[in-house]
Amino acid sequence: MATEQQTRDAAADGGTATGSESLTVTDNRTGRTYELPIDDGTVRAMDLRQIKADEGEFGMMAYDPAFTNTASCRSTITYIDGEAGVLEHRGYSIEQLCERSTFLEVAYLLIFGELPTQPQLDRWVYDITHHTFAHEDVKQFFEGFRYDAHPMGMLLAGVGALSTFYPDAKDIDDPEERYMAAVRTIAKVPTLAAFSYRHNMGLPYVYPDNDLSFPENFLSMMFKKTEVKYEPDPRLARALDVLFILHADHEQNCSTNAVRGVGSSGVDPYSAVAAGVAALYGPLHGGANEAVLRMLRAIGSVDNIPDFLERVKNREEKLMGFGHRVYKNYDPRARIIQQHMEEVFEATEYNPLVEIARELEKHALDDEFFTSRKLYPNVDFYSGIIYEALEIPTEMFTVIFAIPRTAGWIAQWMEMSDDPEQKIARPRQIYTGEREREYAAIDERQGPEKIVGPPARRPKRQRRGA
Ligand code: ACO
């Protein structure tokens, strides 16, 4: 593949700009030349299909495992400029939204495209607040999980199960059903998330409290004990709301792509969102903040930072919470989280890991190894520390991530459903296997000596009950 420098050299050697918005491709197998239109800086992969070495061929495809350079949709929801460290939703900067909006206002913005007027917001908040209860059968369903079931596994199953409670949501073209699905998922995911935590803790589930705001209600469902009314600290509720805003959407990431891909089959939105929860469950997507906490604990003291960074540079360790596929600058979300840390620690016990994190960041940003690779703190560098201060256990971190991301998933699902260019997602492959083999009877087959089967069993972990 030509590097940027080679391309520049070629241009200097006589490449001529014609000013036309197209890409000229010469197939050196045939000598034929094709002109592919360029639209929004992209060429259409389907335009490659006309390129054939001979007429009977299928035609050329683009090969892009992991979609690292493929735009799969047009979207007006979230804009990211990774080089400049910019994140905007519907054109509003994440900084303004965190400073001036609530999470529910941002959820409205993502889904409907505009910030709500006061009456629109009142209606939206009322509808969400009045759909936070889960059906009692959902509660029973949760009671059936093992005592130590992972909360993300419970959430995944719970969201999928919602589709059985609201079968009318299958009518995905009905605007009322769509609205109700948006309201129900955003309202009920926090309830299911809190149920999963209480289940792990062996505590009775707490029903939603309609007098409380969205983040306050979540804190109440998590932490209410014997008090008649749970009164959350407003500083913690606001910090949680800001964390919700920061995680509401991040364009075509792994889980959003999963929601769009599954949703493209025409399935109901609960099932599509369940696919998003499943994708987020994976450690490469939702689990980095947990790894940051482990790393900070292992470093143990500010004095050990230089040694640790030497090990990172020698590739013996990774600086977790640093670097991002898209941001090649300070992740704007990490900066905002930092601004809220002080008020969280005013209301909670001080977490000594903060000092290590801050010093670690300072050292890394002063070091050519990290700056030359454009490695800056990402959203996960500080989020785990805040969750820990809120007394949220590490297994719940991805569950907390899923609460606000539900708004982004729904917004993206709706946009996909309305996009006339979208159809069922169905990538192509390059087949590299055998062809047209002669079928052998079982006694004539020759294969490796080794019997294929599961590896030797490890001792089973202790199970409680039957
Ligand atoms: N620590 C040390 N070196 C790093 C780190 C890191 N955290 N991240 C990248 N590098 C180095 C790579 O080794 C590579 O160096 P080289 O060019 O000398 O080989 C260079 O920086 C470029 O890194 P890539 O791996 O090519 O960057 P990529 O975009 O593929 O990876 C990723 C991004 C996966 C996030 C990576 O930076 C990483 O693993 N970070 C730590 C995990 C983490 O914090 N993940 C959370 C991301 S935010 C989110 O998902 C919400």
Is residue 380 among the annotated active site residues? yes
- 389 CA distance to ligand 1 centroid (A)? 26
Higher pLDDT, 371 or 459: 371
pLDDT score, position 13:
56
pLDDT score, position 236:
95
Number of alpha carbons in the 13 Å side-chain half-sphere of residue 90? 18
- Which two structure tokens, joined as six digits, stand for 132? 């936070």
User: If you compute the radius of gyration of the chain from its CA atoms, what whole number of angstroms results?
Assistant: 26
CB 108 within 8 A of CB 128: no
Q: How far apart are CA 370 and CA 69, in angstroms?
A: 24
The angle subtended at Cα 361 by Cα 356 and Cα 367, nearest 5°, is: 125
Task: Give the number of other CB atoms < 10 A from CB of residue 9.
Answer: 12
Q: Average of pLDDT values for 391-411?
A: 96
Question: Do β-strands 78-81 and 22-27 pair in parallel, antiparallel, or remain unpaired?
Answer: unpaired
pLDDT score, position 426:
97
**Single-letter code of the amino acid located at 359:** E
- 178 CA distance to ligand 1 centroid (A)? 38
Is residue 135 among the annotated active site residues? no
**Single-letter code of the amino acid located at 328:** K
CB 120 within 8 A of CB 108: yes
Q: How far apart are CA 443 and CA 229, in angstroms?
A: 73
For ligand 1, mutation pick of 251, 315, 324, 365 (most atoms within 8 Å of CB): 324
Q: How far apart are CA 176 and CA 167, in angstroms?
A: 13
Q: Average of pLDDT values for 74-99?
A: 97
Catalytic residue among 131, 150, 285, 363: 285
- 292 CA distance to ligand 1 centroid (A)? 13
User: Tokens 């470093």 appear where?
Assistant: 299
pLDDT score, position 17:
85
Q: What confidence tier does 284 reach under pLDDT thresholds 50, 70, 90?
A: confident
pLDDT single digits (tens) 154-213? 999 999 999 999 999 999 999 999 999 999 999 999 999 999 999 999 999 999 999 999
Higher pLDDT, 455 or 53: 53
Output the residue whose Cα is nearest ligand 1's atom 44.
Answer: 321
Q: 10: left (phi > 0), else alpha (psi -120 to 50), else beta?
A: alpha
Query: Residues near ligand 1 with C-beta < 6 Å?
Result: 288, 312, 318-325, 373, 375, 378-380
What stretch of H or E contains 286? helix 283-286
pLDDT single digits (tens) 309-322? 999 999 999 999 99
Residue 333 predicted with pLDDT over 80:
yes
Residue 14 predicted with pLDDT over 60:
no
For ligand 1, mutation pick of 243, 314, 315, 373 (most atoms within 8 Å of CB): 373
Per DSSP (E only), the strands in 63-188 are 78-81, 86-89, 92-93
pLDDT score, position 466:
37
pLDDT single digits (tens) 213-270? 999 999 999 999 999 999 999 999 999 999 999 999 999 999 999 999 999 999 999 9
Catalytic residue among 199, 247, 250, 324: 324
Q: What confidence tier does 4 reach under pLDDT thresholds 50, 70, 90?
A: very low
Q: What confidence tier does 447 reach under pLDDT thresholds 50, 70, 90?
A: confident
pLDDT single digits (tens) 290-305? 889 999 999 999 999 9
- 320 CA distance to ligand 1 centroid (A)? 8
CB 278 within 8 A of CB 158: no
Share of the chain above pLDDT 70, in %: 94
- 275 CA distance to ligand 1 centroid (A)? 26
pLDDT single digits (tens) 353-365? 999 999 999 999 9
Residue 7 predicted with pLDDT over 60:
no
For ligand 1, mutation pick of 311, 375, 387, 405 (most atoms within 8 Å of CB): 375
Mean pLDDT of the chain: 93
Is residue 250 among the annotated active site residues? no
CB 53 within 8 A of CB 60: no
pLDDT score, position 2:
44
Model pTM greater than 0.85? yes
Output the residue whose Cα is nearest ligand 1's atom 8.
Answer: 323
Q: Average of pLDDT values for 123-140?
A: 97
- 67 CA distance to ligand 1 centroid (A)? 18
Q: How far apart are CA 141 and CA 250, in angstroms?
A: 31
Q: Which of 57-66, 238-247, 283-292, 434-443 has the lowest mean pLDDT?
A: 283-292
Q: What confidence tier does 464 reach under pLDDT thresholds 50, 70, 90?
A: very low
Q: Which three-class secondary structure state does DSSP give residue 61?
A: coil
